Each structure stands twice: as C-alpha cells, then as structure tokens.
Structure 1
C-alpha cells in the first residue's frame, strides 16, 4: 500500500491512497465468497458457481462494492497511522481507479484536530443575575402545593370558569360535514390548558352543566392535518359535568398530610432553602455558560464541517433519548411540531458549531495548563454515579472500567471550565425576575 498526504486545508486532511493489486484481489475474492451464496447460476447449486461464471453473468462490477468494504477501512486506517494524521470524524471517500488486476486508488478527506489558538482566559467580565428568595416566592410555591392537592368539587348550577374541568361530548364540522377525528365522548378538558385549538376552551367559559353550545373556531394554518389547516369549523358541544378545584386551608393539618413537617413555619423554611439552592444552581450554570461563550470568542478555531456534523449527531441522539423517556419518538415530535429532520438539524447547527468550538477550547486548556485529575476526584465521581444509580461503590467502579478513559477526560474538561470561572471577574447585577432566562 502507498499513501500520500496531499494537503491540509481548513482542518481537513486530503489523502491519496493506493492499494496494490494483490491486496485488492484478496478483497475481490472475499466479495466473491459472500456473493456466490446469494446468486443463481444455471447448472450450479447456490454457493458453488465458479467466480469466472459469476463475473460473466453479472459483470465484474458486482464484486466491487463488497470488495471495497473489505479493503478500504483497513487501508485507510493504515494510511492515517503511517502519515500521523489525527482524524476526529468519519472520512469521505472518493474512488479514483478501480479495476480487477490493477491497484485500487482512492482519496480520503477527513477532519483533523484543528490547531486551536487560545485567547484571553483570565479576567473575563461576566454579569450574572442576583436573585433573592422573597416571601412572595415562598407563598407562590405554597399555592402550587395547595393546587396540587386540591379536591375536585362538582358545580351544579354555577357556570364554568377558566381552570375548571369539564366533561364534554363534541363533534366537529367543516361546511356542515363531520370530519375524521373530530368527535369525542366523555372527554375531560381543563379550561385554559390550551389542549384544544385556539379559541375553543374560552368559548365554554360561562356555560353550565347540561347545556349545549356551538363553538366556532379556525384551525391554524400550520395544523398537522393538512385538510383542516386554515379551515373554519363548528364544534357541537354538550357539557355533561363541571368540576372545580376546592383549595384546602393552609394550616398545620395540611402541612402534616403533604410533607414531612409538622408546622407551616417548618415547611416555609424548607421551601425557602430549596428555592435558594435552585437559585444558586441556576446562577452557577448561567455563569459557566456565559464564561464559556465569551472565552471561545477570544479563540481562533478553524472548525471543519465534519466535526460540527459529529456534534450535531450527538445533540440529536441526546434529544431523542430525552423524548423517549417521555414516551415520544423523535419522528412523532417532528410530526407534532410540523417539522422534518433537515429543518431540525438546520436549527441546531449554530449550537452544534458553538459546542464543538467550546470542546476544542477546553481540550486545549487541559493541554496547555497541564490539568490532571486525582484518584480522589475519580473516586468521588464513581461514588456520585453509585448514588445516582443505586449501585454499591465497587459495582459502579467495575461498570465504569471500560469507559474510564472517557470519565477521566470529562473530569479534565470540567476542571478546565472551573479554571475559567475561577479566573473570571464575576459581577452580580440586579434584574427583574421575569428577565431571568
């Protein structure tokens, strides 16, 4: 095999690779042994036809695709090792010359680790919101608890209000014709939950149990059922039952029933502590995000598209896993959001580019600052994993053995983030709570 580094440009290496004819012949022979079991040649049992006859009947090209799968990966790996190319993404291959009895020639374009030039790392100016936990915050959380444990009481003569639950029968019509999927019986609907299309729920405010009403709506232009998008519709609705939430008194009896505390003051103290911890955690995450965003802007990072694509795949997979935990597939999400994979990836591309740049910056900081992790830090991480997964320490340690290099690498990146934060100028600023994202 012969390999040459043609050029390095924009953090991509271009390789010219030539596989000698004998090695390519080995690949063709492997391809033949695979394909001969799948083709039918008159006069021969499946798997017994000579290679020459297979090539006569189907053409020599029938072997090429499988032969390339056998030959190219090995030749490419050998080439990057010989040429000292540090590939960081899957390569793109281009076949230059392919013919039985001759050397196989192909080119490979592969993303390589960019040469990162770090900029200003110390003294980065960062502003984070200063948030105090107020009595209003504590009382709002208490009201949420009251709402969560509220009892549902039926309304007999009183009209429905936003926040009430109504049990309804309904059927939808467009131009006096009932449409598919527009009918339901004994459907439970919370008014104001925006479960139905815009304008539907508000028109049931004021209605009483046992009454009927025609609800006039217009389907959104981007409604997923294309035949209904933008159409005016009438829903014939009958209200069979109305229930409203009856909040319980906020006293010690309520506290003892819904929490581990005996008094309202104890519960308030715990809520205040919890809100403060959440506020500090949010502030810390915002601080890290801001420091990273500002630091990466100071760096020179020639970023190949192939690396951004790899980061994009990671983000899509992570998003898909989060959806699956909620019982939704990515395909269902895209359908519900009236989107497709191409548009979804296009939307994520800027963030993928930023994430890839930040990762490269942190790796460079680890390298330049000589950041290491101690055995104690590794054990602490294993202990946290054990507590999170319910495993014993030794069992968690054993389960992480195969990925320990990656665990250590991630810990080094986290310490690089800590280095940036520790050397930043952090300023807390007063903001309105609604301004905090």
Structure 2
C-alpha cells in the first residue's frame, strides 16, 4: 500500500517499491530487444550472453531502461490509489543510499497536484451590468463602412495633401543615420489623420504635394512595442507618390439595392439591427460569464501552482504558433518584429494566464460544491448536438460519431456538461448592478 510521506503546499511526496524480480524480467526483455547491437570480442553479434554484456559494458547497462519500462504502471497505480489529481510530470529519484540491484528498488516521487480551493461567496455575486442596447450610432457606423467600401476614389494633383486624404508614399526610416528593420516601404497606402503611424508622421505629410521628396523628424513613443526604438529620435525620408480622396455615395434606396438584398434603407437598417442585437447579446453573455468567474475567483482562497500557470502559457503559445504557421508566419519571426524574445513573451502572458487558471479552479470548485447531476440522456443529447455541427445533413456519419463519442469520451462529455451547468448556475444567480458612473449620470 502506498502512503504519502509528506505534503508541502501543492507538492506531494511518496515512495514506490519496485520488486527486484520485476526489474530482472524487464532487464531480460531489454536485453533481448537490443542484443544485436552489442559487439564483444569472441562472440558472434547477437549471441553475446546478458551476463557477458554486463561484465563488458557495466553491471547496470540494462537497469535504467528496465526501470523506465516498469515505473509508469507503478506510478499510475499509486496515483489512482492515493486519488491524486496531478498537474505536472513527477520528479523521480532512486534511493541511492540503500540501492542494491538484487533487492527491491525504492523510488522517491514528488509531484505537484491540484491545490485545495476554499470557496468564498459564489452564489448571487454582484457584477457590473452589461449593456446590450443597440443604438442608432452602431447602425450608422455599419452603413458608413459600406459607404467607404463603395466609395469612388478621386486622384488629386492640384493641391497639397490634407487630413482625411489617402496618400501613397515611399518611406525609409533611420535612427542615428542607420536604417532599422521594418522602417521602410514602397507604395504604402495611408489615410492622413487615421493615427495608423507614430505621432508626427501623418502630420508631416500634410501640406506636401505629389512628387515632393522631404524628411519628417519624429520620436518613437515611450510605450512603443519595439524595445530598440522606444523614445528614439528618427528621421523618415518620404516620397509622395499620389494623393486621393473618397467620394462617398449617398445613402438612398438605390444604394441599398446595389449593396444588399433589400429594397429600402429602412429594411436594410432593420436587418443590421437584428444581426447586431444577436451579436451584442452573445458578446454580453460572454462578458457576464467572465465577470462572474472573476468575482468567484477573487472571493476564493487558493495557492495557484506555477505548474498550472506554466502549462496554460505553453498551451497559449502552441495555439498562437499553430495559427501563425497556418498563415505562413513563424512565431519567432513575429516576436522578432516586436523586439521580444520567446521568454519575454511568455513572461508577458503570466498575469493573464494565472487569472485564467484561477477562474478554472473556481469553476471546478463550484462543480464539486454543487454536485451537478448529468444524466446519460443529457450526454447523448450533447453528443448529438456536437455531431450535427460536424456532419450537417449526413445522419449516418452523425450516428457513427455519436456512438464513438459516447463509447470513448463519455467522461469528457460529462465534464463539459458539468462546466456548462456550473456557468449557467453562476450567471443565473448573479446580480447585475449599475456601474457607479452610470448611477451618477442618472
């Protein structure tokens, strides 16, 4: 029977006893798998006895591989017996002081486990109310986007560039007379007054005419993303290739017919309002969930293990790396453009990662406290909903996926449903209150 020797915060220490006979059997297995690779004078390759190999290469030649062969099962059995929820790989050490290959092997294990969570108030927590009103301004903004997408571009050659114009420029930036990475481009489109470039750049283009070549002196902001350029003075050599302005179409029924399936402006606005309302409400629900979980996490007591935070960071980095690779960009290349190392990037994620881990632990603690029941019928319905998303209209494939999910992933489905029930429970019982500034306005 395995017993915990001691526990320090989230780290558990225990010993495993590996029977000597089991090690010997594993060593023989390793020997048989590898005997063809050993060369010993006087013996044909593949026919060197195990004992001779041990004499020639060392008594423990097969021991490490044999231990690695048998250890995982003993470790997993101990984890199951002790009912430990481990969150990291274990540290493994052999008791060398009492080590004797002819006797049972004592293996010292220490591993981090999920921390104990002491929930504070979680039912009926107060959160700041989430506005869901879709105002006229939001509708007009959507229409303005369509106006700009369908605007007529008019080239200008009889006046200097003004704010609001769209210009095409070549530029080359230098700091202390030396060009820097990402500081030059040709045929760059820029809307003057958009704030797309650093302060002073767009203002420096205003007043110049097509064909002008000129310099702009600027200072990079203190909070600029590239560490090497923060607060640095720079000069940009500019060539102004063209100036243009947009002529926006009038918003009338004819314009609406051209850009949509609707006949009138009012019909188009009603459609935008309906879609925006659904979008705003979905975003509001996600914001409510986040605010509730943050509040529950703030109210609990827990010692967040570094291992969980590190795992969360690594997962985010992997996801970001995969997304960028799908777009043909290397993560290291992207970080280089930002003037960041991978380690610096991971450090910058630590605060958010820890907050996410706290919310995860809070939700799991609520699930344990409330003991939500999940029926087999709910699991099947959830599997069917999931399968329908993957194979719309193909009932045979849906049935096949449902069967596989229930047979192979029933516990994972149950966990998902428990989390959903816990989130719904917390949000339904939360009390939305107006922000202090909103109360003052009334």
Q: TM-score range by the shorter chain?
A: 0.7 to 0.9
How big is each residue's C-alpha offset from its partner over 1:241-274, in whole Å with a ceiling of 9 and x where there is no partner?
A: 3333332221222212222221111111122223
TM-score of the aligned structures, taking structure 2 as reference length: 0.80
Give the aligned partner of residue 413 of structure 2: 407
Relative distance call for 1:429 and 1:72 in structure 2 (3 A) is same
Structure 1: how far apart are the matches of 2:181 and 2:372? 63
Structure 1: how far apart are the matches of 2:17 and 2:284? 56
Structure 1: how far apart are the matches of 2:281 and 2:317? 29
Give the aligned partner of residue 400 of structure 2: 398
Between 369-378 and 216-225, report the one with greater CA deviation: 216-225
Q: Indicate whether 1:418 and 2:424 are aligned.
A: yes
Structure 2: how far apart are the matches of 1:423 and 1:302? 27
Between 27-36 and 258-267, report the one with greater CA deviation: 27-36
Give the aligned partner of residue 89 of structure 2: 90
Deviation at 1:24, TM superposition (A): 2.2
Relative distance call for 1:337 and 1:396 in structure 2 (3 A) is farther
Is contact 2:225-2:338 (8 Å) kept? no
Matched ranges for 1:1-20 at <5 A: 3-20=2-19
Relative distance call for 1:403 and 1:333 in structure 2 (3 A) is farther
Q: Indicate whether 1:270 and 2:271 are aligned.
A: yes
SS of 1:130's partner is coil
Is contact 1:4-1:17 (8 Å) kept? no
Structure 1: how far apart are the matches of 2:116 and 2:216? 63
Q: Indicate whether 1:337 and 2:343 are aligned.
A: no
Relative distance call for 1:388 and 1:292 in structure 2 (3 A) is same
Give the aligned partner of residue 145 of structure 2: 144
Structure 2: how far apart are the matches of 1:314 and 1:126? 29
Give the aligned partner of residue 289 of structure 1: 290
How big is each residue's C-alpha offset from its partner over 1:357-407, in whole Å with a ceiling of 9 and x where there is no partner?
A: 433443343344332345665465445535644533553453361334312
Structure 1: how far apart are the matches of 2:289 and 2:370? 19
Structure 2: how far apart are the matches of 1:179 and 1:360? 45
How big is each residue's C-alpha offset from its partner over 1:217-244, in whole Å with a ceiling of 9 and x where there is no partner?
A: 4567877595x77765444332223333
Any stretches of 5+ residues in structure 2 without a counterpart? none
Give the aligned partner of residue 245 of structure 2: 244
How big is each residue's C-alpha offset from its partner over 1:22-63, in whole Å with a ceiling of 9 and x where there is no partner?
A: 222334444445665666666777766555565556545654
Structure 2: how far apart are the matches of 1:315 and 1:182? 30
Structure 1: how far apart are the matches of 2:47 and 2:230? 60
Is contact 1:18-1:103 (8 Å) kept? yes
Structure 2: how far apart are the matches of 1:132 and 1:337? 38
Between 99-108 and 30-39, report the one with greater CA deviation: 30-39
Matched ranges for 1:145-294 at <5 A: 145-173=146-174, 184-191=185-192, 199-218=200-219, 232-294=233-295
Q: Indicate whether 1:70 and 2:69 are aligned.
A: yes
How big is the alpha-carbon RMSD for the aligned residues of Structure 1 and Structure 2?
A: 3.8
Relative distance call for 1:210 and 1:129 in structure 2 (3 A) is same
Deviation at 1:415, TM superposition (A): 0.7
Relative distance call for 1:387 and 1:15 in structure 2 (3 A) is same
Between 140-149 and 160-169, report the one with greater CA deviation: 160-169
